[in-house]
Amino acid sequence: MFQRMQQPLDFKLLESLERVSRVFKAALWAEAKREGMSPLQVQILLYLHDNPRRPGGVSRLSREFGVTQATISDAVRSLAEKEFLVKIVRPEDRRLKQLKLSLKGHRLAIRTRQRRGLLEARMAGFPIDRKEATLRFLLEFLHQLQKEGLLTEMRLCLSCGNFEPRPDPGPGEAFYCALTQTPLTITDVNFNCSEFLPRRAVPTA
């Protein structure tokens, strides 16, 4: 007689996230194989493409991707040799180098982003209220992981010193940005904000 499997809800949520991640990783692998690169190298290009105003160096990329500086240095050296990026010496300290995409690197990043666009297109047909509820849960989950030290360099609004819950919100406006002095809905919350201010730990008495 068939017996129904009893899997916990949390297990199913994590399994679902893992399977979505596999689809995205497959897109990275496809571009990486096409260019003779590693997925990490493609991720570095995407990071530099998506954060043009944020100085990119080996130490920052190491924190962003949670790997050693030696691993990042090897990946960056290969990208520079293949002319996907250039190293710019900082005038204030010539020992430090800022990483910038070359035109070739920009083109590859755009092509890879287009692959992710195929996933976004498949999400477009779902009801907006369901996507907003899912986004809120995922942002709160990511914020909790960051507070516990399991994620770094996320630069998420929920972890920003300018971010405040609203005690008396309007419809859908549960948050407030002290920097821009504007209320925020869940869809206004951003990743990798260029004005991100790390939240200081509140001293205990």
From first to last of the 205 residues of the chain, give the pLDDT tens digit: 556 667 889 999 999 999 988 888 888 888 888 888 898 999 999 989 988 777 678 888 888 888 899 999 999 999 999 999 998 876 666 666 789 999 999 999 998 888 778 888 889 999 999 999 999 899 889 888 888 888 776 778 888 888 887 765 555 667 888 888 888 888 888 887 778 887 764 333 3
- Residue matched to tokens 């504007």: 182
Into which CATH architecture does domain 14-123 fall?
Answer: Orthogonal Bundle (1.10)
Q: Which residue ranges make up each domain of the chain?
A: 14-123, 128-188
Bridging pattern class, strands 93-101 and 175-177: unpaired
Tokens of 11: 């297990």
Q: What does residue 164 show for φ and ψ, rounded to 5 degrees? A: -135, 135
| Rg, Å, the chain Cα set | 20
Give residues with Cβ within 8 angstroms of 108, minimum separation 6: 31, 35, 42, 45, 84
pTM over cut 0.75? no
